[in-house]
Amino acid sequence: MRFPTKPAMLLAAAALTGSTVGIAMAAMGATSASGTIPHYKVVERTFIVTTGHQKTMDIKCPAGMSPVGGGAHYGTHGFPGGNATAQYIAESDLDVSHRGWAITAVVTSPYGNSSFTADAICAAW
């Protein structure tokens, strides 16, 4: 799969479909799905949510970079699965300032304190 070689073509397609990732990739000059994308960074944070509580983690992008995606999962390494009714991600979206990615993790009672890992994908163009 190849992306259009002219960023303007990809920007127009992204604007029609509402694709933020497409806009970021066009601005960065990406040319193929398997190629490298210059000027991006994944910012990762691991945190604990205590039993019967929820916690929002807001990961800001470094200066000069903007968020183009993000997410989170239960656990500290890879994707261990977790129990969707006990430990889960309730929300995952751009933060209010649009300078980072925010997620809300929940741990229901009586399950113990649980670790989550959140990621923000940041890019500059």
Q: Which domain holds residue 27?
A: 1-38
Whether 50 and 88 map to the same domain: the answer is yes
Top mean-pLDDT range of 6-10, 74-78, 79-83, 114-118: 114-118
pLDDT tops 50 at residue 55: yes
What value does the mean pLDDT of the chain take? 75
Whether 60 and 34 map to the same domain: the answer is no
Q: What is the pLDDT of residue 86?
A: 86
Instruction: Give me the percent of the chain exceeding a pLDDT of 70.
Output: 65
Q: What is the pLDDT of residue 20?
A: 39
Q: Residue range 49-61: average pLDDT?
A: 96
pLDDT tops 60 at residue 37: yes
Whether 24 and 71 map to the same domain: the answer is no
Whether 52 and 67 map to the same domain: the answer is yes
Pairing of strands 87-94, 100-107: antiparallel
Whether 13 and 32 map to the same domain: the answer is yes
Query: pLDDT tens digits for 70-93?
Result: 999 988 766 556 667 788 999 999
pLDDT tops 50 at residue 25: no
Whether 54 and 14 map to the same domain: the answer is no
| 77 CA to centre of own chain | 16
Whether 60 and 88 map to the same domain: the answer is yes
Whether 67 and 105 map to the same domain: the answer is yes
Whether 25 and 47 map to the same domain: the answer is no
Q: What is the pLDDT of residue 79?
A: 57
Whether 23 and 61 map to the same domain: the answer is no
| Torsion sign across C-alpha atoms 41, 69, 124, 46 | negative
Distance separating alpha carbons of residues 101 and 34, to the nearest angstrom: 25
Largest Cα span, the chain: 54
Whether 75 and 49 map to the same domain: the answer is yes
Q: Are 75 and 115 in contact (CB under 8 A)?
A: yes
Count of structural domains within the chain: 2
pLDDT tops 90 at residue 2: no
Beta-carbon contacts of 77 under 8 Å, excluding residues fewer than 6 positions away, are 117
Whether 71 and 24 map to the same domain: the answer is no
